[in-house]
């Protein structure tokens, strides 16, 4: 059963070794485990529904509570404290496009605001229920989770928008296809959610971001149905798919998604490479990308993340053996770890491995084989479980991500980490900040930073500290010319910073599209823009 107040299944746990706990104490100081609310206590906070009698939505308090929040840090505090409100007044659970259209029509008839719900994995506040005198309903697409059609000649598949990652791949596999979109939220996030937040998967270097995969879609707007895409290419005016990509539920409900699929590859390997320092490591990955090597993934951890990952791995003896080997090869303190994915036919994989390792060697990289890569692949979607374990020990965690051109990468990465470390200095609290580059382009790359700090033990104090930290790092991103989000979207948390990126005229265009399709502004108000 899925956790109601955290990430993942209740039976799934990310155990932290004694060595890992000692590392956290060394970096941040001793912590105190919090006292979390029980589900029974949280259910007591759900008020009566304001929907008119006979409205065909579920109003059960448990159902409403389970759809009240996502996974942003404010959501996390709300869930752990048992104060998840405000709550939607009802939840619709359609199983088809037609049922979703009926649910939206009912919501409009009763004057309700609508918060679309997919997999519940948003980390930037997409699912927060607005405070309003009007009733609010969740339209959850979680039951719209089937493969609807496959066009084997065109390499297209049509899916219900609520289909999560594992079900997508399981339903495509008998046809010999895969989609290849693997965000860290893969186990729970949905194809519709990926589209409306412009998601990016871990192997985007091979498969592309979701905008390259999104071929067509059906959208129910308050004004009627909108169909976008459907042909291989077109010069007939603006591409309306771009309106839906990143729209975050402001324009309507995306109910069906047609994606471009690929044949299942014969071989997939992940290799570990260590570099002596950051400066040579980043030049090595830039050289690989700009050489157009057909890699599926490059994930470069900076020196702090490399140390953190090895200390939290829970295998101190193996790590000591690795460090002895790296030391003999001239790699010591300040080392940076690269995880390299290679996917394709056996011949392609051998050739790409040879070419990539030749570039790595030019930059003093040391190949350590596939053992670390196999471990990474096995645990690639378990990272969010660490948030549960850290919280239970008394530590808070959050992340930010952005993207810039290559000349700005190092300065922005250092700036983000420095801003985070300084954010809680007035409280005499330390922040452990570390970063990796996970999505590479010829032009630049994404920057993904994680922050760990001691929880205050009081929800209000923890929220205030988070706001201070989030503001400092977001302002740093904007000051360096980075996008406010590379892969998580805007939601509530990033909305204040979007105008700096889009400009006043750009924001007017976005708002105009929303007014045209949603004249009553009933769709996910407050998200993306105010």
Do 360 and 298 touch, CB atoms closer than 8 A? Answer: no
Q: By CB neighbour count within 10 A (0-12 exposed, 13-18 middle, 19+ buried), where does 93 fall?
A: buried
d(CA 477, CA 471): 10
The response to whether 449 counts as a known ligand-binding position is no
**Residue 188 known to bind ligand:** no
* Catalytic residue list: 448
CA distances from 83 to 58, 133, 145, 524 (A): 21, 20, 30, 21
For residues 173 and 186, what is the distance between their CA atoms, to the nearest angstrom?
16
128 labelled ligand-binding:
no
Residue labelled with tokens 């470069």: 300
- Rounded Cα–Cα distance for residues 168 and 292 (Å): 29
Distance of CA 463 to the CA centre of its chain: 21
Say whether 122 counts as a known binding-site residue: yes
Determine the 3-state secondary structure of 114 from DSSP.
Answer: strand
Beta carbons within 8 Å of 175's beta carbon, 6+ residues apart: 150, 152, 157
Instruction: Check whether 199 is labelled as a binding-site residue.
Output: yes
Q: Is 119 annotated as a binding residue?
A: yes
Q: According to the annotation, is 120 in a ligand binding site?
A: yes
Could you give the 3-state DSSP secondary structure of residue 169? helix
Q: For residue 381, what is the DSSP state?
A: T
Instruction: Round to whole Å and give the CA distance between 111 and 109.
Output: 6
SS (H, E, C) 460-521: HHHHHHHHHHHHHHHHHHHHCCCCCCCCCCCCCCCHHHHHHHHHHHHHHHHHHHHHHHCCCC
The structure tokens 């930010």 sit at: 400
What residues does 523 pair with on adjacent strands?
114
Prior bond to 61 cis, omega within 30? Answer: no
Residue given tokens 């050739």 in the structure block: 351
Sheet holding 90-92, edge to edge: 90-92, 136-140, 113-117
What is the torsion angle, in degrees rounded to the nearest 10, for the CA atoms of residue 249, residue 250, residue 254 and residue 260?
-90
Question: Nearest Cα to 33, choosing from 24, 44, 46?
Answer: 24
Using alpha carbons, select from 192, 210, 185 the residue that is nearest to residue 116. 192
d(CA 34, CA 490): 30
Residue 197 labelled as part of a binding site: yes
Binding positions are: 116-122, 197-200, 387
Binding positions for FAD are: 116-122, 197-200
Binding positions for substrate are: 387
């Amino acid at each position: 059963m899925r956790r109601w107040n955290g990430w993942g299944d209740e039976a799934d746990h990310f155990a932290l070794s004694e060595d890992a706990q000692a590392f956290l104490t060394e970096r941040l100081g001793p912590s105190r485990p919090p006292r979390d609310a029980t589900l029974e206590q949280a259910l007591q906070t759900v008020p009566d529904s304001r929907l008119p009698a006979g409205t065909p939505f579920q109003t059960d308090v448990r159902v409403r509570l389970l759809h009240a929040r996502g996974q942003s840090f404010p959501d996390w505090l709300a869930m752990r404290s048992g104060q998840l409100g405000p709550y939607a007044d009802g939840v619709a659970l359609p199983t088809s496009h037609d049922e979703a259209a009926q649910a939206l029509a009912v919501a409009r008839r009763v004057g309700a605001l609508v918060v679309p719900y997919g997999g519940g994995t948003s980390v930037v506040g997409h699912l927060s229920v607005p405070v309003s005198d009007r009733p609010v309903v969740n339209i959850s697409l979680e039951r719209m989770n089937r493969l609807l059609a496959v066009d084997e000649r065109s390499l297209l598949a049509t899916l219900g928008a609520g289909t999560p990652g594992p079900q997508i791949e399981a339903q495509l596999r008998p046809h010999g296809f895969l989609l290849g979109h693997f965000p860290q939220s893969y186990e729970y996030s949905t194809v519709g959610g990926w589209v409306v937040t412009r998601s990016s998967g871990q192997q985007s270097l091979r498969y592309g971001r979701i905008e390259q995969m999104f071929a067509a879609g059906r959208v129910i707007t308050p004004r009627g149905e909108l169909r976008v895409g459907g042909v291989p290419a077109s010069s007939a005016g603006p591409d309306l798919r771009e309106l839906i990509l990143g729209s975050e539920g402001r324009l309507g409900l995306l109910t069906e998604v047609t994606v471009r699929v690929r044949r299942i590859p014969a071989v997939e390997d992940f290799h570990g490479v260590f570099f002596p320092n950051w400066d040579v490591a980043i030049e090595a990955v830039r050289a690989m990308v700009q050489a157009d090597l057909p890699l599926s993934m490059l994930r470069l951890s900076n020196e702090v993340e490399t140390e953190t990952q090895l200390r939290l791995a829970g295998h101190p003896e193996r790590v000591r053996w690795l460090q002895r080997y790296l030391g003999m090869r001239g790699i010591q303190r300040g080392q940076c770890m690269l995880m390299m994915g290679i996917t394709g036919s056996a011949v392609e994989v051998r050739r790409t491995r040879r070419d990539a390792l030749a570039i790595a060697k030019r930059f003093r990289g040391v190949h350590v084989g596939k053992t670390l890569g196999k471990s990474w692949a096995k645990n690639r979607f378990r990272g969010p479980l660490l948030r549960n374990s850290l919280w239970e020990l008394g530590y808070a965690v959050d992340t930010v991500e952005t993207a810039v051109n290559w000349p700005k990468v190092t300065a922005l990465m250092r700036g983000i980490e420095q801003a985070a470390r300084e954010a809680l200095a007035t409280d005499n609290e330390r922040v452990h900040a570390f970063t990796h580059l996970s999505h590479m382009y010829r032009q630049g790359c994404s920057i993904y930073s994680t922050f760990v700090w001691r929880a205050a033990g009081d929800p209000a104090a923890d929220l205030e500290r988070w706001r201070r930290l989030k503001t400092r790092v977001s302002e740093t991103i904007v000051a360096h010319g980075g996008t406010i989000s590379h892969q998580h979207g805007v939601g509530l948390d990033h909305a204040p910073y979007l105008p700096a990126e889009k400009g006043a005229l750009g924001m007017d265009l976005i708002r105009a599209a929303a007014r045209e399709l949603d004249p009553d502004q009933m769709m996910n108000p407050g998200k993306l823009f105010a």
